[in-house]
A and B are shown apart, each in its own frame.
Chain A
């Protein structure tokens, strides 16, 4: 797949040390967080700056070698796996913080900077600003990866997703040229290429620097945990909260199975017999916070809440969140392996979607605990399984597909925040018609006529 001449040129471009071709080294790059799929690239290349990225793209273009960009490889969709071999372009060395523009509230960073680092560095430099999107992986995932998937996280309902904070970028396209799209100005004439190119899961453009919008750190937060005996009561409480005009900054939901696993493993103080736990957070100006929190508590009480816990300090807030953040580890209580699905439905249908997910799991013989970003209808069913044989894996994926189809039937989509990658491309026709997909393909063909960038992703075969 990678002819010797190409390999030599790559080594000359980034230095021999930064081109990995030993099969043993390549194994660590064979999958991302979608561990059910593995595929090794022919070679891993680690560029140090934009010029090297341009060189690598030009070389791959010359030899017709596919390129798969990769940050930390935490993608849950398989989009960072080199399914057609070729070059895996890894950005771990491109992790400089290029510019912090306080006046404009903008950060310019290289693609390998970790998403949480953006906020950490802003804070360190004395700015009372942060990068609002906080996908669960944000301590290890790279900003480019999160941009490429238009990542979300628990604070989306109020604060939006990554694309709402992406002002522009420098990108290298399959033609081997670098372009600057967008910028610090919030408006400009012409087509909004930033949105199109950047959240394309690396299939249209490779990011060499990103211009991000920062937000003021909220003056305060109030975090409330509400424990319910019935899922429907919890769902109604949420509806009432939204109807009252409150937009919580986070609204997380854990069902009985999740609660049990978290409590057994992490001992955070959850009652083992609760049917539903809501983690509700409001943020904003300090004077109104208690007003909002009181209203929320009152609404929960009106809906038969069993118990309310209010965080009175940052430590208490951390404790309340620890359970929610620990779900991925805790579900191991049920079985050693899981397939994490990412469906989204209108919020009013979320409880129904969760019940359906459980039912479908039962049908296939799997336990399916659910942790959800209730605020924006994003559910995360964990399909738990014990064996790694092909038959089980097949049934697990079938169960997953059926759950996602159920989400679509309820008016939602097959991907809330994890992206399509490989894992969901055969499902794309469930939410998009042939014409919908064809229009997207036209753009792909026009910008990447040779199919160089991240082949095998997004579009069904």
Chain B
């Protein structure tokens, strides 16, 4: 079998996850190689950790075992692209940036926006279910994926879904892999639905004195017929980071909203005008062209730009006011935070000394309510002090059953997922 780590390129230390150094780093040359590798690993009882570019590998509990890190770098083919059907099928190792270049040539796009975008691979993005601001307008990764192929324990290659938008045949297993963090199998290929690149794309940046005003503005926007593709809320700290990264002078205030409009020019112009009136904020900046692009790149890359630990909150969007207030209160102001307000996802950047106390306090405050608090990035020793996922609902039992059914020997990323899966 090719790809056995005699290759000196692979210094094992540089593939460590949470300080755990893998026994082997292997890069299968193609799909058959990958299948064989999983097959052999299964026979030998070796754990498998799939890795694209490793930009999301820090997410999860420290690994219990790290026998094989399996690199997807050679699974990088564009399998099938039908611009007329608005669908594309690619192997998991394809980088999003490469994919985007290809799609642009046909005036199309796949609205995936994880941070570390230039390095991120299809497989890693899908496995980590890392959605971005435009989830509001274009759907989440689960809505963009039409089909998938994965290699399961024992070297079984199985496909689910297809290349067409409508498909109701059998079980929707692909959904399990999306956000499954590589714990059920090795994703080798994904089919996506695509969108045409809109004629116009611009945004509005509006300042506010308080979160109450922000919430009122959001409600007004929601009740209106306008169709923003992204609505972001930024606190002062994040505003500053965004300004310097994007080299755009954004007025600073306690809070700011960033709203994106895409579509026909006649519609986006109307949306910009109407929202300026409707939002009733303080200062207003219109962004388009290069400034608009750089600002949204900044939002997309915020996890990369910000230092310190990252806590990811998710809740029903209506809770945003309470969430921001509580975060501010519990961190005694020593945080920076922003949210994809349209999706109810909020990122909090906090110092490592405060992290555990902060997270425990938050989880306790919202106990029994739909409010998830995940430690996404923290030093390993801090991660060990807490359950990074904090997921304790009854359906965890079903998740364990599914895991056992699809990965009976517990080979794929053991111990990194919710409930110690």
Contacts and interface: CB of A to CB of B under 8 A. Distances in A.
A415 interface: yes
Interface in B295-324: 314-318
Contact of B107 (A105, A199, A245, A437): A245
B167 A187 contact: no
Contacts of A281: none
A181 B271 CA distance: 36
B275 to A, nearest CB: 12
Contact of B84 (A177, A243, A436): A243
Interface string A151-188: 11000110011011000000001000101110111111
A197 B173 CA distance: 9
Interface string B167-182: 1111111011011100
Interface string A319-352: 0000000000000000000000000111110000
B157 A377 contact: no
Nearest to A285: B267
A344 B167 contact: yes
Interface stretch (A7-15, A271-279, A286-294, A381-389): A286-294
Given A180-B395, A287-B266, A443-B402, A191 B179 contact: yes
Given A183-B370, A192-B179, A216-B227, A416 B159 contact: no
Contacts of B266: 287-288, 291
Nearest to B219: A103
Contacts of B316: 101, 104, 106, 183-185
Contacts of B393: 180, 190
B172 A163 contact: yes
B172 A199 contact: yes
Contacts of A416: 164, 166-168
Contacts of B166: 152, 156, 161, 344, 373, 376-378, 416-417
Given A128-B225, A164-B143, A104 B168 contact: no
A14 to B, nearest CB: 25
A36 interface: no
Nearest to B175: A195
A458 B343 contact: no
Contact of A428 (B142, B169, B270, B399): B169
Nearest to B371: A185
B85 interface: yes
Interface residues of A, number: 92
Nearest to A408: B162
Contacts of A181: 395, 398
B411 interface: no
A204 to B, nearest CB: 8
Nearest to A178: B394
B12 to A, nearest CB: 29
B263 interface: yes
B414 to A, nearest CB: 15
B406 interface: yes
B374 A189 contact: yes
A378 B399 CA distance: 33
A413 B162 contact: yes
Contact of A419 (B86, B168, B196, B374): B168
Given A173-B398, A192-B175, A285-B271, A156 B169 contact: no
A226 to B, nearest CB: 19
A173 B399 CA distance: 13
A219 B267 CA distance: 11
A43 B249 CA distance: 71
B119 interface: no
B172 A346 contact: no
Interface string A418-450: 111000100010011101111110111111000
B54 interface: no
A292 to B, nearest CB: 7
B109 to A, nearest CB: 11
A287 B393 CA distance: 46
A136 interface: no
Given A196-B175, A247-B196, A440-B171, A191 B399 contact: yes
Contact of A190 (B159, B195, B418): B418
Interface in A197-242: 197, 199-200, 204, 216-217, 219, 239, 242
A196 B170 contact: no
B344 A185 contact: yes
A156 B46 CA distance: 43
A289 B311 CA distance: 42
Contacts of B175: 192, 194-196
Contacts of A189: 179, 372, 374, 389-391, 418
A436 to B, nearest CB: 5
A184 B320 CA distance: 13
A414 B166 CA distance: 11
B170 A432 contact: yes
A187 B164 contact: no
Contact of A284 (B164, B267, B314): B267
Nearest to B185: A439
A346 to B, nearest CB: 5
Nearest to B398: A193
A74 interface: no
B162 A412 contact: yes
Interface in B138-174: 139-140, 142-143, 152, 156-160, 162-173
A434 to B, nearest CB: 10
Name the residue among A181, A195, A428, A433 with the largest chain B CB count within 10 angstroms.
A195
B45 interface: no
8 contacts: A179-B397, A191-B399, A195-B176, A285-B226, A285-B271, A344-B167, A413-B169, A447-B405
Q: Which 8 A-B pairs have the closest CB atoms?
A: A195-B175, A446-B405, A245-B196, A184-B316, A288-B264, A103-B318, A187-B314, A439-B158
Interface of A: 101, 103-106, 128, 149-152, 156-157, 160-161, 163-164, 173, 177, 179-181, 183-197, 199-200, 204, 216-217, 219, 239, 242-243, 245-247, 284-288, 291-292, 344-348, 373, 376-378, 411-420, 424, 428, 431-433, 435-440, 442-447, 458
